[in-house]
Amino acid sequence: MSDAEIVCERRGSVGAILLNRPKALNALTLGMVREMARALDAWEGDPGITRIVVTGAGDRAFCAGGDIRKLYEAGRAGDITPSLTFWREEYILNVRIRSYPKPYISLIDGIVMGGGVGVSLHGSHRVAGDRYSFAMPEVGIGFFPDVGGMYALARLPGEMGTYLALTGARIGPDDAAALGLATHRVPSERMAALEEALVAGEPVDGVLAASSRPVADAPLLAHSDVIARCFGASSPLAILAALDADGSDFAAETAATIRKKAPSSVAIAFEQIRRAPAMSFEDTMAAEYRIVSRIAEGHDFYEGVRATIIDKDGAPRWQPARLEDLDPGFAASHFEPLPGRELRDPV
């Protein structure tokens, strides 16, 4: 296997992209983002390439996010420019993937989080293997669900997206297929043959249909009534009150989970998911860039990464420590324009 952190090559009819940092759970770097963008540009006009296939190296992760440690280190050194460059180019890539004119197929048989969601969820086909594990866990590190994930979560039925955004909960392949986050559910042992059939140029939809199996047990859906009722409330505090009043073990565990997250992140994520249904995908990404530009100048992201990834003490000191102490206009302020620094502005 190549030592390159990403491998983009032609394989028969496929433009093949291999995320190749298995020891880092294939976390994205700026170099990987740029190489993906370059390859997609080159392949769009190549008639010999009829579909894109994206995979992750190793058997643990498709892609577990961005390289958070590098972003943390740059910010702690007092220079957020490298981080903003990464996020800008990553978000532009997410928009590119959503509008790509050829079938864009992600074969996901492992962890898919954060940036991994951004390079898979917006493509035309998302194939979930047995090891598939989806989450947008950003509220646990003082960040927010970005890479366009909120556009999709806001459109899930029954407040499922609000639940996933505010808890960072992981779901497996059958829940993902039932919710539409995955378009196909394929057993892991069929993945290699599926990929080879795509390389051979067989019709994309036919190959995927033939390889798929019906959705089996979708455990999250067992709690759909509680989620719809409690997460439809008018604010994060109202959601917590509804969960506290519910009385079920699931509601109590869910409320306890939310209370451990960064209050600032929970508020921003809630604001995102309430705004997103009225926004285009492009406008959602522009809003995310406004948010991330402000978070990069704040406290909680660096504190969350410190507690989770750097020191690993599991004891973040959020500012503020409680949702009740947030300024009422805090979340909305993150969506305000950034004159001269918008995602669509020239660099």
User: Phi, psi (5° rounding) for residue 10?
Assistant: -80, 135
Determine contact, residues 173/182, Cβ cutoff 8 Å.
yes
From the candidates 146, 159, 271, 288, give the one annotated as an active-site residue. 146
C-beta neighbour count of 238 within 10 angstroms: 14
Q: Side chain identity at 267, as an amino acid letter?
A: A
Radius of gyration of the chain (CA): 20
Separation between Cα atoms, residue 68 and residue 78, nearest integer Å = 16
Pairing of strands 125-128, 104-108: parallel
To the query of whether residue 138 is one of the catalytic residues in this protein, the response is yes
To the query of whether residue 46 is one of the catalytic residues in this protein, the response is no
From the candidates 109, 138, 175, 195, give the one annotated as an active-site residue. 138
To the query of whether residue 115 is one of the catalytic residues in this protein, the response is yes
Nearest to 115 by CA among 16, 30, 27: 27
CA distances from 219 to 34, 152, 171, 179, 232 (A): 38, 20, 9, 12, 20
In the chain, DSSP assigns E strands to 6-11, 14-19, 51-56, 61-63, 104-108, 111-113, 125-128, 133-135, 184-185
Tokens of 259: 């209370």
From the candidates 114, 115, 148, 149, give the one annotated as an active-site residue. 115
From the candidates 15, 56, 65, 66, give the one annotated as an active-site residue. 66
Separation between Cα atoms, residue 108 and residue 137, nearest integer Å = 18
Q: Return the active site residues.
A: 66, 115, 138, 146
